[in-house]
Structures are given as C-alpha cells and as structure tokens.
C-alpha cells in the first residue's frame, strides 16, 4: 500500500528527475505508513535567502489539501483536481540543509567584520531555527551527499537558496599569476570561510589594485587599509589579523570601466572610506567635470552618493579633515574610465606586477550607458590584484535547469521552469545583486508563490517522509549532519575562545575541528 502512495498524486514522471541507482539508496517505503498531512518543505542553503524563505513559510504555510483516497481506486491524473483549502496548519515543517557545518551563509562569511550591526539579523534567523517546525541540518552538501531528485521525492516542495558560491572571472591574460585572487576569496579568508582559510595573500607589496567599484570592493579596500588595532575587537579570524598586522600595503586603487555616476557602491560604504583613520582619498577632479548638471535628474540615493564624491574630489576639506589627511600614511583612490586588459607579470614571470588598462569613454544614456575603449592604454604597477567584478552561482545538480551565462536557475517568480514543486530564492534566483533587505523581499515572494501552489492543490498531496527518509540516506553514505543545537555548541566555543582577547568570537575555520568538537 505504501508504495502506491508515491504514484497516485500524478507527478511520478516530473521532468529531469532520475531514479537513484539500484541498490544505492535505502527504500523510502517504510517511512510512508503515517497518514499525517503535514506539508514537508525543504530549503537548500542557510544564508539570508534560505532563512527568510523558511521564516515566511512557517508563518504563512497552510495545510495540504487532499481528497480521501479509496484504496484500489484509479490514481488522480492531475494534481490541480484537488480542492484548495484555507485552514491554518500549525504542523507544517521546514528543513534547512547547509553544506557548511555552521549556518547563516553570507551573513557569517560575507559581511565585513567591522560591520557587526549587519549581523544582528542572525538573531532573527536563530528564532526561526528554534521553531519546533523548523530544523537545520549542516554538513550536508546537496548534489554530493544527497541529490535534488532524492529531496523532491522526500518533500512536498524543495526551495534552492544556496547563493552564489563562485566569482566571475576576468578572462584576461595573466589572471592565473600568483598575486591575483578574487575579492570573494579574500573576503572568505578574513571571514573564516573554510574553503579559503589557506589563501595566504601576499601583502608585502606597496600597492594593491581592486578591479571593481562595488560594496565588496570597498569592503576589501577598507580591511586592507584599516589600522589592525581597529580590527582587534571584531570577529575577523586570528590568521587574517596576523597577516594584516604585517601588511606593507599603503595604497589601494579601485578601478572601474565607467564613471562616477555608475559606481555600484552605496553612500554608507563611501562615507566609511572617506573617514577611514590613517588614510586619505585620491580623486581626480577632471573625472567630475560637468557632473553637477547631470546629477539633477538622477534618483535621490544616486544623487546624494555622487554629491559626496563630487565634494570630496573638488572641495577643500575642513581644517580637521585636512589635518587628518595630511598625516595619513595610507591612501585609496578611484580610477574611472579604465578597463583591465592584462595582468602584467614581474620580470621573472613568477607573480603579478601590474595591470594594463584600456582607457574608456562612455556611450549612451541612463541604464544603457556603456564603456567603449578609446585606443589609449596605461599600466598601473602593483603587487596584488583583487578581482571584484561579481559573484556567480554554480549548478547544484544535473536535474536542475541552470543558465550558465547568467549564473541563475531559470525561474518565473521563484518557480523553477519546467520542474513543478521546485523553487528558488535569493542570488541563485535573481543574480548576485542587492543587500540583505533585497533578499528578504525576494525570498518572501518565492515563499508566497509556493503557498499559492499549495493552496491551489498543485503540490503533491500524499504524505511525505521529509527528513526521516533523508536521514536514512545520509546514514547509509556515512554523512553525519550537524543540528542547530550542535551549532550552538560551536557558537559557545567560538565565543569562549574570543573572550581571552576581547573579541566577540574566534571563528572556527576547520570543518574537521568542528566535527571533532561535536564528537562526530
């Protein structure tokens, strides 16, 4: 009887689903004896997108609706034949899977250590994880430890919220040289992302060049130039702080293809750079000629940002600011209208020694403005090159459609195209843009689409085993998940280690050490 349960809801041949190899997975059959109508929902990824999606679903999810099924009667051919219902279902359950042993994704591994206020959202996520209808399962890599088809077989709906785990390549000669790395890897290194813990950037040079002019680029520049004693009370990793204390970097250039009106950073991050202790800005007034008239028609946030740039570049600083800049031992600058063409090697060819830039000019107006080369070139000497031209998502499983060019899962308002019951939210849905609040809105929208499908009877209506089935699979494959209570033990260990040096925490960066501490 139990095995028939998998077939009668009519989606036994969802597109792109492949059965597991014979003998490779334990049967789900014995998990299906329950007649409970609990909607079982799975979220892949525990960053802002994952937790906000879970939060919305737990607050709003409604009961699965199904007609009583008479044994041995013909299967329903269309899921939408099931009547919708509006009764609140307090037992709807959400499982969140995460490949790292620790939760919170970009909040833990992407937000700069000197921005602790941004990390306060972790308190909200913790409340969600403490719900009796939510469970966190870390140390589980979807696509390796368990497949998406296996998740879809165990849950009524699956939401992919795993973010952007890669960076966009420069695709220029010399990119592979030592001394070149992505800003994403650099951020992961100082924030304790396990895969970047052995990066060991060489900061023995005088000048660093960051290719890109977004918030990540400004974060990296700020961390490079901030006096180390100002970082000692943050959650920056011990190893990163040690390297930064020995840094000889005095000048950081941030290079952009277009002009001041097109920068991607926000006014808060710019203001922090202008006020950075021990550092002064270098802006060429010629880059801002005629800008005063152009900013009259732009939206207010862009106008305020550009006005601050304009004042910094063209106006005489006040006495206090002038004195601070005069005594500064470090500097940062914005190089506009420059496009990287090549990373230049040192004379022995063993590492990066500069960047060759094409001088550009702008064509078009508004959002269509693009940079085109003028034919002129210039070389910018440096010993460290950090590419900050965007993050990029990776495909998670062959069964999931993926647009490699855009780096997203093709979807309509969060519904994955051609795969009923599969959804996406966050950067893997829309691309790596926006701030945490943007992701919150985006994730709530995906959650709303899932709820609409649930109410309309468009999701499987029979019982689903949820984590019980996945736990059996993981156990058979030697994978030991980390629960949220396990994470709280690691959290307590990090806080205890930080107390001795006055830090909020000393992050654990080695997954094997984390598992050992938990007795896994």
Binding site for NADP(+): residue ranges? 213-216, 257-258, 269, 434
DSSP classification of residue 120: G
3-state secondary structure 53-118: HHHHHHHHCECCCCCCCCCCCCCCCCHHHCCCCCCECCCCEEEEECCCCCCCHHHHHCCCCCCHHH
Which among 309, 292, 230, 217 is positioned nearest to 256, based on CA atoms? 217
d(CA 31, CA 316): 73
d(CA 399, CA 209): 40
Q: What are the residues whose beta carbons fall under 8 Å from the beta carbon of 167, sequence distance 6 or more? A: 182, 183, 184, 185, 387, 389, 390, 391, 392
Q: Alpha helix (H) ranges present in 196-299?
A: 215-225, 238-245, 267-274, 291-294
Kindly state the tokens that stand for 209. Answer: 């060049």
Q: Answer yes or no: are the C-beta atoms of 452 and 61 closer than 8 Å.
A: no
d(CA 159, CA 56): 12
The tokens 């930064």 sit on which residue? 244
CA pseudo-torsion sign 424, 427, 430, 435: positive
Q: What are the residues whose beta carbons fall under 8 Å from the beta carbon of 341, sequence distance 6 or more? A: 172, 356, 357, 358, 377
Q: What are phi and psi of 370, to 5 degrees?
A: -135, 155
Q: What are phi and psi of 316, to 5 degrees?
A: -70, 130
Which among 232, 237, 101 is positioned nearest to 520, based on CA atoms? 101
d(CA 386, CA 312): 25
Q: Which residues are annotated as a binding site for FAD?
A: 49, 98, 106, 142, 427, 434-436
What strands lie across the sheet with 352-363, from one edge to the other?
Answer: 338-345, 352-363, 370-381
Q: Which residues are annotated as a binding site?
A: 49, 98, 106, 142, 213-216, 257-258, 269, 427, 434-436
Q: What are the residues whose beta carbons fall under 8 Å from the beta carbon of 236, sequence distance 6 or more? A: 113, 190, 191, 223, 244
């Amino acid at each position: 009887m139990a095995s028939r349960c998998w077939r009668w809801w009519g989606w036994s041949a969802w597109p792109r689903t492949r059965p597991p190899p014979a003998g490779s997975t334990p049967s789900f059959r014995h998990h299906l004896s329950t007649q409970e109508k609990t909607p079982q929902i799975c979220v892949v990824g525990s960053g802002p997108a994952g937790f906000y999606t879970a939060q919305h679903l737990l607050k709003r999810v409604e009961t699965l609706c199904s007609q009583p099924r008479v044994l041995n009667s013909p299967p329903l051919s269309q899921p939408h034949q099931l009547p919708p219902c509006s009764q609140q279902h307090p037992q709807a359950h959400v499982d969140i899977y995460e490949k790292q042993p620790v939760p919170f994704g970009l909040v833990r591994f992407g937000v700069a250590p000197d921005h602790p206020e941004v990390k306060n959202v972790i308190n909200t996520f913790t409340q969600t994880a403490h719900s009796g209808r939510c469970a966190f399962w870390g140390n589980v890599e979807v696509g390796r430890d368990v497949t998406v088809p296996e998740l879809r077989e165990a849950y009524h709906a699956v939401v992919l919220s795993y973010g952007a785990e890669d960076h966009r390549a420069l695709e220029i000669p010399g990119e592979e040289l030592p001394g070149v790395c992505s800003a994403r890897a650099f951020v992961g290194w100082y924030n304790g992302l396990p895969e970047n813990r052995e990066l060991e950037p060489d900061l023995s040079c005088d000048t660093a060049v960051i290719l890109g002019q977004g918030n990540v680029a400004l974060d990296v520049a700020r961390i490079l130039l901030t006096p180390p004693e100002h970082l000692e009370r943050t959650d920056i990793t011990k190893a990163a702080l040690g390297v930064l204390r020995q840094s000889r970097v005095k000048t950081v250039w941030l290079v952009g293809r277009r002009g001041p009106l097109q920068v991607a950073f926000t006014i808060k991050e710019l203001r922090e750079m202008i006020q950075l202790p021990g550092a002064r800005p270098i802006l060429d007034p010629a880059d801002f000629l005629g800008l005063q008239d152009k900013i009259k028609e732009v939206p207010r946030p862009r106008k305020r940002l550009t006005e601050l740039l304009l004042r910094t570049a063209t106006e005489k600083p006040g006495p206090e600011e002038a004195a601070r800049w005069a005594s500064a031992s470090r500097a940062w600058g914005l190089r506009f209208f420059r496009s990287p063409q090549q990373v230049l090697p040192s004379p022995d060819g063993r590492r990066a020694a500069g960047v060759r830039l094409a001088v550009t000019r702008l064509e078009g107006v508004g959002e269509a403005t693009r940079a085109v080369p003028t034919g002129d070139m210039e070389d910018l000497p440096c010993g460290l090159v950090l590419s900050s031209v965007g993050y990029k998502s990776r495909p998670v499983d062959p069964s999931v459609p993926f647009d490699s060019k855009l780096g997203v899962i093709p979807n309509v308002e969060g519904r994955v195209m051609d795969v009923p019951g599969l959804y996406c939210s966050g950067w893997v849905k829309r691309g790596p843009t926006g701030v945490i609040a943007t992701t919150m809105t985006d994730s709530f929208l995906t959650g709303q689409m899932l709820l609409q499908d649930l109410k309309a009877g468009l999701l499987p209506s029979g019982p689903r085993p949820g984590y019980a089935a996945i736990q059996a699979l993981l156990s058979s494959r030697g994978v030991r998940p980390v629960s949220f209570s396990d994470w709280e033990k690691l959290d307590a260990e990090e806080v205890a280690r930080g107390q001795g040096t006055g830090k909020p925490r000393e992050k654990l960066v080695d997954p094997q050490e984390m598992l050992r501490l938990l007795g896994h």
